[in-house]
A = this chain, B = another copy of it.
Amino acid sequence: MDWSSVQLRSLVELRRRGTVTAVASALGYTPGAVSQQLGALERSAGVPLLRRVGRRVELTDAGLALAGHAQRILDIEAAATAELEHSAGRIAGELQMALFATAVAEILPAMLARVGETHPDLVVRSRELVVDDVYDAVASGVVDLAVGLEYPDVPIRRDPSLRVVLLYRERFSLAVPAGSLPWDGPVSLARTGPPLGWILPPEDTHYGLAIRTVCRRAGIEPELRHEVVDTAVSLALVEAGIGISTVTDLMLRLRPSRFDVLPLVERFERHIVAVVRASAEHRPNVAAVVEVLRDLARD
């Protein structure tokens, strides 16, 4: 019997998530790849580990038992990694991280510069992920650290094994085409009805849900005119006079725009946070980079 790290991770994630597709997206593979890995693991185990049930798949008893062992192996791996970093006596080695698009553009460069100065032996590798995916990436061990977003006014449950460190607190403002509203003081969402249409992210994203929730609390249902995922695209549409949206400073830094930005009466915030596994919180490399992020945030 011979296994790979990927196979063990796939099995453990399958227990958590229940579908091959979900495992694949959590681990950053295609479903086909995960299916093949699990197939290989099953062949080398000699015992069925999965059972098709309806259009999905379920772990057999043997699969569950093996997943338990796999989890223990991954735990040892985590402990070994932490111990290696401690024993190095200095910050060195590699750290995998994930960031949402805007953070890659606006935070990563300064962070890398600072890490390069203070911890020259640490190599930080990063990948850009859709913001709602970075939590899973951390939880499943694909990355050690992520920069993500929280909407404290519309909180959602996170995996309890995750720890979140506040970096920046940003207040949302209303972005409206230049001159389209006759005043420039604080605006209530309740007064954003027609003819102003909304440019919104899909409701199945945390951001999309948060905007809608805040609007509903203010007593309006935002009229979806254009569903847009990309932040810069949203801003371009507002600038073009197509509709209204919400913005933060970081979003404006990414794409300086010519439209009116009005404070909101309603409280609507987002937090830019660092996300780590609780078990990795005290790893020197992880702690060091989190510290760099906090330092940058303080400036």
Binding site for B on A (CB under 8 A): 1-5, 44-47, 61-62, 65-66, 69-70, 72-73, 76-77, 79-81, 83-85, 87-88, 92-94, 121
**CB of A191 to closest CB in B, whole Å:** 54
A72: B residues at CB distance < 8 A: 76
A65: B residues at CB distance < 8 A: 80, 83-84, 87
The secondary structure that dominates the A interface is helix
Which chain B residue has the least Cβ–Cβ distance from A61?
B87
Whether the pair A93, B5 counts as a contact (CB closer than 8 A) is no
Whether the pair A77, B46 counts as a contact (CB closer than 8 A) is no
Whether the pair B62, A69 counts as a contact (CB closer than 8 A) is no
A81 vs B88: C-alpha distance when bound (angstroms): 34
Whether the pair A46, B2 counts as a contact (CB closer than 8 A) is no
New contact pairs (19) apart from A72-B76, A73-B77, CB-CB < 8 Å: A1-B80, A1-B93, A1-B94, A4-B4, A44-B94, A46-B84, A46-B85, A46-B121, A47-B85, A47-B92, A47-B93, A62-B84, A62-B88, A65-B83, A65-B87, A66-B84, A69-B77, A69-B79, A73-B73
Minimum-distance CB pairs A-B, first 10: A46-B93, A69-B80, A47-B88, A62-B87, A1-B81, A46-B92, A73-B73, A47-B84, A45-B84, A73-B76
A4: B residues at CB distance < 8 A: 4-5
**CB of A37 to closest CB in B, whole Å:** 14
Whether the pair A3, B77 counts as a contact (CB closer than 8 A) is yes
